[in-house]
Chains A and B, each alone.
Chain A
Amino acid sequence: MSPSRFVSVLVALAAALLVLLLAAGARADESIFDPSRDKLHLDSFDLALTGYSQRGNGYQSQAGPPGGPGSQALTVWEPMGYFVLKKGQKLTIRILAPFDMVTAASPNAIDKTRTDTISQASRQNEAGSIDTSVTYDVSKRTTGTFRGGIHLEEDFRSWNMGLAGTRSFAEDNTTIAAGANQIYDWFDRFDYRGLRHARTQRGTTSGFVSLTQTLSPTTVGYLNYGLTEQNGELGNTWNAVPLVSNNYGGEVLPQHRLRHAFVARLAQWLPWNGALKGFYRMYADDWGIVAHTVEGQLYQRFSALFYARVSYRFHTQRGADFFRTVAFDDGNFRTADSDLQSFDAHSVGLSGTFTVPQRRIKGLEMQAAYERYFRTNDLDVNVFTWRTGFRF
């Protein structure tokens, strides 16, 4: 079976499972359906500001010595809003709206008199997204979710939509979920010299199945398998590749990519008002990338109003088969993108969450978080986040 057909079959199976789940739920709970029980109201909203400060070098960037790795330094400020609206007991609408303000989105040493990759992108870039999801509780045990979103970024346009469903069993001790998503990206094709070559596109189809299981009064487990197929232009189009001729060339990437990811999570309550969470993820695709990721998170509640978290994440990946720091100009697949290289990455994080007592609203929550990400091929990122949440 070809990869495309395999993905199509998986997506069809996920859709069929979703329909069956929704149908089963509808039959089981028709009697309590009452859409006029309550009016649409704001249930909660969160506002967050995240800052990313990145330093490092990669061979895909021309902002360095000829043939050597160039700068990947950038700063991103990202304000976000997340709103939850509810209508009665059954309808929940979630809206996520992040906006990016990026400096030095594509640092490079291209002739400054010529058009840069995406106008002014090497200096500044703004982007915004709106993702919405509507979840309907078909019954006490069954939910269905429709989602849709759009992403705007300079010349870049992206649309996505998806369906998902969940079904609980055994007094909600077991929950299975399945879903499918489709993303379509449409953008200008700028080459590594900053020259525009009309528009191009890519499509992404994905599906997942997951299982959440209560293992004991203090333990929850979770498994997820996801499959993603991508077709079209799969690069950002302007990454450079150093050539043996001491010149630069563009990336040459396959027009197809099939990606598998398996995730396992475990959350364990600790007797001293704490929690320990474990995460493992295995990834493989047909570009030759294989990766393993593990993460541990330790939570400690110090009072009813405050808890803190420390976390450590380790990621190791084998690079794409066609990664090169210097390549022949022979038309074979090639990339010098450091993200597609073999490397190990470490991430340590710390956060604190405060609940501020309020009389007028149900809750006011504030969170501060810091994460430091660093990896073995010359890249490190500091991430700061402040979030304020209002519950009604």
Chain B
Amino acid sequence: MSATKRPTPSLRPSPLLVTLTLAVSTIVLGGCTAVPQNRRVHLADPMMSVGDDPLETYRKQKLYNTREGAAGGDGAASGGGCGCQ
């Protein structure tokens, strides 16, 4: 096979992304006041889990990772596959 040309990296963050990142970081870090455990009753409800349950997470990975070229890259391990789905 003949020599191939590498694509031009295009990883420069957009102003929108920088602004959004700073806004979210400010909100999160600004909330570093400790909430006592006896006031976290609502946070214990399964509906308030910040992530999905493992089966839901796997189902979503299956749906998106094999259909969107931009899926993955989250640093989480995922099983391999032919990608034919």
Residues of A bordering B, CB below 8 Å: 46, 48, 50, 52, 54, 74, 76, 78, 80, 82, 94, 96, 98, 100, 102, 105-106, 118, 121, 125, 127, 129, 131, 147, 149-151, 153-154, 156, 158, 160-162, 170-174, 179-181, 183, 185, 187, 206-209, 211-228, 235-236, 252, 254, 259-265, 267, 269, 274-275, 277, 280-291, 293, 299, 301, 307, 309, 315, 317, 319-322, 330-333, 337, 339-341, 345, 353, 369, 371, 373, 375, 379, 381, 383, 385, 387
Given known A254-B6, A283-B70, A288-B8, contact A214–B31 (CB-CB < 8 A): yes
Partner of B55, one of A48, A100, A275, A330: A48
Q: Given that A131-B79, A173-B32 are known contacts, is A125 also in contact with B54, CB under 8 Å in the complex?
A: no
Report the bound CA distance from A299 to B62 in whole Å: 23
With known contacts A213-B32, A291-B68, A381-B67, A267–B85 Cβ distance under 8 A: no
Quick check: B67 and A379 within 8 Å, CB to CB? yes
**A320 touching B69 by the CB < 8 A rule?**
yes
| Separation of A180 and B75 alpha carbons in the complex (Å) | 7
Contact B75–A52 (Cβ < 8 Å)? no
Of the candidates B1, B43, B74, the one whose C-beta lies within 8 Å of that of A220 is B43
Closest 5 CB pairs of A and B: A208-B75, A226-B75, A158-B80, A215-B31, A291-B70
Q: B82 — which chain A residues lie within 8 A by C-beta? A: 105, 118, 121, 125, 153-154, 156, 187, 236
Secondary structure type dominating chain B contacts: loop
Q: Are A337 and B69 in contact (CB under 8 A)?
A: yes
Say yes or no: A129 contacts B27, CB within 8 Å. no
Please tell me if the beta carbons of B27 and A221 are within 8 angstroms of each other in the complex.
yes
- Do B42 and A149 touch across chains, with their CB atoms under 8 A apart? no
CB neighbours (8 Å) of B21 from chain A are 262
| Whole-angstrom distance between the Cβ of A100 and the nearest chain B Cβ | 8
Q: Can you list 17 A-B pairs with a CB-CB distance of less than 8 A?
A: A174-B32, A179-B75, A183-B77, A208-B75, A219-B31, A225-B75, A227-B75, A252-B4, A269-B48, A280-B24, A282-B17, A288-B8, A315-B64, A322-B7, A331-B1, A331-B2, A339-B66
Residues of chain B contacted by A225 (CB below 8 angstroms): 75
**Are B5's CB and A228's CB within 8 A?**
no
Which residues on the B side are within 8 Å of A309 (C-beta)? Answer: 47
Residue in A161, A217, A379 whose beta carbon sits within 8 Å of that of B43 in the complex? A217
Enumerate B17-53 residues with CB–CB distance to A below 8 Å.
17, 20-21, 24-25, 27-29, 31-37, 39-43, 45-51, 53
Q: What CA separation (Å) do A147 and B32 show in the bound complex?
A: 31
Q: Is the CB of B31 within 8 A of A213?
A: yes
How many chain B residues have a CB neighbour from A under 8 Å? 68
Shortest beta-carbon distance from B67 to chain A in Å? 6
Shortest CB-to-CB span from B55 to chain A, Å, is: 5
Identity of the chain B residue whose Cβ is nearest the Cβ of A271 in the assembled complex: B42
Please pick, from A102, A158, A185, A345, the residue contacting B85 in the complex, using a CB distance under 8 A. Answer: A102
Docked Cα-Cα span, A149 to B71, in Å, equals 20
**A217-B40, A226-B73 given; A129·B79 CB < 8 A:** yes
CB distance from A209 to the nearest CB of B (A): 8
Given A236-B82, A269-B43 in contact, is the A96-B1 Cβ separation under 8 Å? no
Contact B4 A333 (CB under 8 A): yes
CA distance A261 to B65 in the complex (A): 13
| Alpha-carbon distance A339/B1, docked complex (angstroms) | 25
**Does B9 interact with chain A (Cβ within 8 Å)?**
yes
Closest to A227 in B: B75
Is the beta-carbon distance between B20 and A171 smaller than 8 angstroms? Answer: no
Which of B17, B25, B35 is the one whose CB lies under 8 Å from A173?
B35
Establish whether residues A317 and B69, one from each chain, have CB atoms under 8 Å apart when the complex forms: yes
Do residues B48 and A160 form an inter-chain contact, with CB atoms below 8 A? no
Contact A206 B75 (CB under 8 A): yes
Contact B84 A236 (CB under 8 A): yes
Contacts of A332 in B (CB 8 A): 4-5
